[in-house]
Amino acid sequence: MKVILAYSGGLDTSVMIKWLQEKYGAEVVTVTLDVGQGEDLALIEERARKLGVVEHYSIDAKEEFVENYVFPAVKANAMYEGKYPVSTALSRPLIAKKLVEVAEKHGADAVAHGCTGKGNDQVRIEVAVRSLNPDLKVIAPVREWGLTREAEIEYARKHGVPVEERRSIYSVDQNLWGRSIECGPLEDPAEEPPEEIFEWTLPLREAPDQPGYVSIKFERGVPVELNGERLDGVSLIARLNKLAGMHGVGRIDHVEDRLVGIKSREVYECPAALCILEAHRDLEKLVLTKHELMFKELVDREWAHLVYTGLWADPLREDLEAFINSCEDRVEGEVRLKLFKGSLIVVGRSSPYSLYEHSLATYGAESRFDQSWSKGFIELWGLQSMTARWKKRRKEA
Ligand code: ARG
């Protein structure tokens, strides 16, 4: 039996290599994706090989991640429950896709992942894998092995899996679009997250005492320039993470509804995502009509919900994207943000497709808005509402 394992290099998936070899007598092939998590892939590969995998793949998937997953999320203003930029969620269908590619290349029987049975990620990976290749089996060792933390470490020691002395008590997942942090003291939603969990954002008291300005230029709904410099998506996001993080911008503390019904306390650091999403939404307000904006809000929410709940594969996502992309044709222009001690404020925007007409909006003498139009308009606009109110009052009298 041959199994393709999504390998992070951490303790769980390292133990998994041994467990799959022992329990299933499997030949294990490991796959690690670089989605901008900032880890040493060579080191991870070395670790996997030491544990006796028959093959290992290190895949640089940063560009694909940004172009095909993050950018659609930007166009959809994707924020689950209004707060979480679905950063972890976006990487899962891509990981699944790569697992399936490697599995097909090797004629493997199954793919395996390190997700627990309590979270969203198991759903995201398995629905994605099975919709790409229904013949592949999926093994989720954490759901099967029933090991406590202590038993797992014991198993690791017995099987020669290196266990770091100072292991973090937190569970962290990161990629270019953000950092998700769970467990330990964070499990008490009443308590402020300890400073030690943050790595991408400075504490407010250490952030610069002068505000910083960032300008982001968008074309067809996606960011293409940062402070006047044209950059590819990966570099732009990486640079903005640093810039905004330095001002303490990007922290999110969220009580979130998981797909499996659990409410959980999640902490995120998403400096670039928060800046880009805020700027993008602002630019849409400048160029889209009120009617487009109202309808798009519904479409956007549905898009984020599908992606969060593991249904990247559902054709509805592409149906929604057809509408979204049609709007995004005109989402072009520049937005200026002011960053200061954790706050993020849009302070200016411009676009060749702007619907803002100075000659209409101005209170100055050059106004070409004829105020006499409003008199009749108000009568018609309020007609039914006023009539209903009059009748109601008569009945009550
Ligand atoms: N709650 C987030 C989600 O479901 C993040 C999960 C991240 N996992 C972690 N190991 N911290 O997308």
Mutate to test the pocket of ligand 1, among 8, 12, 120 (most ligand atoms within 8 A of CB): 120
Q: Other CB atoms closer than 10 Å to residue 107's CB: what's the count?
A: 7
pLDDT tens figures, 172-216: 999 999 999 999 999 999 999 999 999 999 999 999 999 999 999
Residue closest by Cα to atom 4 of ligand 1: 120
Let me know if residue 35 belongs to a domain.
Answer: yes
Point out the domain boundary residue: 158, 184, 204.
158
Q: Indicate whether 26 and 175 sit together in one domain.
A: no
Residue 338, beta-bridge partner list: 213, 345
Q: Indicate whether 136 and 191 sit together in one domain.
A: no
Instruction: Tell me how far the alpha carbon of residue 327 lies from the centroid of ligand 1, in angstroms.
Output: 30
**From CA 372, how far away is CA 360, in angstroms rounded?**
14
pLDDT at 345: 98
Helix axes 87-106 and 290-308, enclosed angle (nearest 10): 50
Residue closest by Cα to atom 8 of ligand 1: 173
Let me know if residue 136 belongs to a domain.
Answer: yes
Q: Indicate whether 211 and 140 sit together in one domain.
A: no
Long-range contacts of 355-361 (CB under 8 A, 24+ apart): 355/286, 355/287, 355/288, 355/289, 356/286
Q: Indicate whether 127 and 103 sit together in one domain.
A: yes
Indicate the residue type of 335: V
**Catalytic pick among 87, 121, 251, 300:** 121
Instruction: Tell me how far the alpha carbon of residue 355 lies from the centroid of ligand 1, in angstroms.
Output: 39
Closest atom of ligand 1 to 87 CA is 12
Where residue 294 falls (left for φ over 0; alpha for ψ -120 to 50; beta otherwise) is: alpha
Instruction: Tell me how far the alpha carbon of residue 173 lies from the centroid of ligand 1, in angstroms.
Output: 7
Instruction: Say whether 92 is catalytic.
Output: yes
Q: Indicate whether 28 and 94 sit together in one domain.
A: yes
Residue 346, beta-bridge partner list: 337
Say if ligand 1 is within 6 A of residue 269 CB.
no
Let me know if residue 311 belongs to a domain.
Answer: no
Say if ligand 1 is within 6 A of residue 257 CB.
no
Q: Indicate whether 267 and 385 sit together in one domain.
A: no
Provide the CATH number for the domain around residue 276. 3.90.1260.10
How long, in residues, is the chain?
397
pLDDT tens figures, 52-71: 999 999 999 999 999 999 99
pLDDT at 144: 93
Say if ligand 1 is within 6 A of residue 172 CB.
yes
Instruction: Tell me how far the alpha carbon of residue 268 lies from the centroid of ligand 1, in angstroms.
Output: 9
Instruction: Tell me how far the alpha carbon of residue 175 lies from the centroid of ligand 1, in angstroms.
Output: 11
For residue 249, the enclosing domain spans: 171-288+330-350
Let me know if residue 360 belongs to a domain.
Answer: no
Let me know if residue 178 belongs to a domain.
Answer: yes
The helices-and-strands tally (H runs, E runs) of the chain is 15, 14
Instruction: Tell me how far the alpha carbon of residue 126 lies from the centroid of ligand 1, in angstroms.
Output: 16
Q: Which residues of the chain have pLDDT under 50?
A: none
Closest atom of ligand 1 to 180 CA is 11
pLDDT at 295: 98
Q: Indicate whether 104 and 200 sit together in one domain.
A: no
Let me know if residue 255 belongs to a domain.
Answer: yes
Say if ligand 1 is within 6 A of residue 332 CB.
no
Q: Indicate whether 198 and 139 sit together in one domain.
A: no
Mutate to test the pocket of ligand 1, among 121, 123, 254, 264 (most ligand atoms within 8 A of CB): 121
Which residue carries 């709007």 as its tokens? 327
Say if ligand 1 is within 6 A of residue 182 CB.
yes
Say if ligand 1 is within 6 A of residue 120 CB.
yes
Q: Indicate whether 139 and 184 sit together in one domain.
A: no
Indicate the residue type of 44: I
Point out the domain boundary residue: 125, 158, 191.
158
Helix axes 121-132 and 87-106, enclosed angle (nearest 10): 40
Let me know if residue 356 belongs to a domain.
Answer: no
Instruction: Say whether 171 is catalytic.
Output: yes
Q: Indicate whether 125 and 262 sit together in one domain.
A: no
Give CA 334 to chain center in angstroms. Answer: 23
pLDDT at 63: 98
Phi, psi of 85 (to 5 degrees): -75, 25
Instruction: Say whether 239 is catalytic.
Output: no
Say if ligand 1 is within 6 A of residue 254 CB.
no
Let me know if residue 165 belongs to a domain.
Answer: no
Say if ligand 1 is within 6 A of residue 32 CB.
no
**Catalytic pick among 171, 235, 264, 350:** 171
Q: Indicate whether 87 and 9 sit together in one domain.
A: yes
Instruction: Tell me how far the alpha carbon of residue 181 lies from the centroid of ligand 1, in angstroms.
Output: 7
**From CA 158, how far away is CA 364, in angstroms rounded?**
81
Say if ligand 1 is within 6 A of residue 350 CB.
no
Closest atom of ligand 1 to 256 CA is 1
| Cβ within 8 Å of residue 80, ≥6 positions away | 86, 89, 256, 304, 305, 307, 308
Q: Other CB atoms closer than 10 Å to residue 373's CB: what's the count?
A: 9
Q: Write out the two tokens for 52.
A: 């006796």
What's the total number of domains in the chain?
3
Are 142 and 19 spatial neighbours (Cβ–Cβ below 8 Å)?
A: no
Q: Indicate whether 70 and 215 sit together in one domain.
A: no
**Catalytic pick among 92, 124, 179, 317:** 92
